[in-house]
Amino acid sequence: MTASGRVVFSRMEEVVFGRPAAEALAELVERQGANRVFLMVSGTLNRQTDEIEKLRRALGNKCVGTFDRMPAHSPRSAVVAAAEQARAAGADLIVTLGGGSITDAAKAVQLCLSNDVRTPEDMDRIRGQADVKPPTVRQISIPTTLSAGEFSAIAGVTNEATKVKEMYRHPLTIPQAVILDPEVTRHTPMWLLLSTGIRAVDHCVEGVCSNESTEYSNASSLHGLSLLARGLSRVKADPSDMAARLDCQTGAWLSMTGIAAGVPMGASHGIGYVLGAVFDVPHGHTSCIMLPWVMRWNKPANADRQALIAAAMGHPGEDAGDVLDRFIRGLDMPRTLSDVKVGREHFDRIAQQAMGTPWVPRNPRPIPTPAEVKEILELAA
């Protein structure tokens, strides 16, 4: 029987790579005919570097405002505050420079603007609703980390009232364009760059290991994984190696082909959502901790897929969980839940909440109840 399926392509128009961000941005803004550009950026980069000022200079009088107060995990209140500022400025384009929380927040801001959302509680109207009005103010993203959320139409926003990370989505929330400039990642703390690189590794690995993957997505994921496996080690050894940084950025871009095309992730991502929202564990670290353990737990269901992972990382014939474990340890990243101060007393809550994520129910080895999630958590303890 022949395979059948469906690959969905995103509404992203272009990716510019290997060029100075400010120069590339000026050209994109000109091409898109935007006149009122609103910046959502890292506060640290705005205060401590000239990267944001370079964008302002390139935009000239088209820059109508800057929001630089987005906390980790994109809380609702900060998303609404950014939307209010963008609305008051009459923005016709949002440009982000920073990590995944800023990228995701801007996607949600697009929906807040088009649906007249003005309070954190009001965001309930745009979450998971089929009749959400499409964004009219689009986004250009300049990432400084490697978690690659800029290549997805999904925004993760934390509801402070429930401490749950909620998904907001519309096909048009994906950035219209992405600029991959390795130079802007020089300011990113090494632990953050490397751990978000493992987040991209997690996208590749769970994409290939999914029961719903396609040959199209596997090709991108496996090559992305090989670029990340080589590039992350090189960046750690020599932070000035811009070619290695661009390899990592390209690997992160390729890591999102599956997700953008509709391939679901698995338990590493699902458990990671809960660890991020409830315990404030950075998402890169959640992947560093959970991915090898999830692979070991899943192996009875997909050993053939796992063999592809080990080979793409340069270790054909070895156990993929072991290869990932060694690789992550070699980058000096955390490997257990106790490393990030999450103890067994929280496992029941984590397991219950993980069942409600989009990914745990679609893990390649079935997870019918919270008990199976707890088995994985015990491995990772």
d(CA 189, CA 48): 13
pLDDT value at residue 232: 98
Q: Cα dist. 362→97, 212, 291 in Å?
A: 33, 9, 15
pLDDT value at residue 7: 82
Radius of gyration of the chain (CA): 20
Q: Cα dist. 159→73, 76, 85, 96, 196 in Å?
A: 10, 6, 20, 22, 22
Strand order in the sheet with 37-41: 14-17, 177-180, 138-143, 93-98, 37-41, 63-67
Q: Is the Cβ–Cβ distance between 62 and 29 less than 8 Å?
A: yes
Question: Domains in the chain, start-ordered, CATH in brackets?
Answer: 14-183 (3.40.50.1970), 189-380 (1.20.1090.10)
H/E element holding 218? helix 215-237
> What confidence tens digit (pLDDT) does each residue in 22-61 have?
999 999 999 999 999 999 999 999 999 999 999 999 999 9
H/E element holding 243? helix 242-255
pLDDT value at residue 8: 81
d(CA 312, CA 221): 9
pLDDT value at residue 62: 98
Q: What is the DSSP letter of 161?
A: T
Burial readout 45-68 (b: 16 or more C-beta within 10 A, e: otherwise): bbeeeebbebbbebbeebbbbbbb
d(CA 234, CA 18): 18
pLDDT value at residue 261: 86
pLDDT value at residue 130: 76
- Phi/psi of residue 138, nearest 5 degrees: -95, -175
> What confidence tens digit (pLDDT) does each residue in 194-247 have?
999 999 999 999 999 999 999 999 999 999 999 999 999 999 999 999 999 999
pLDDT < 50 stretches in the chain: none
Name every residue whose Cβ is closer than 8 Å to that of residue 301 and which is 6 or more positions away in sequence: 364, 365, 366
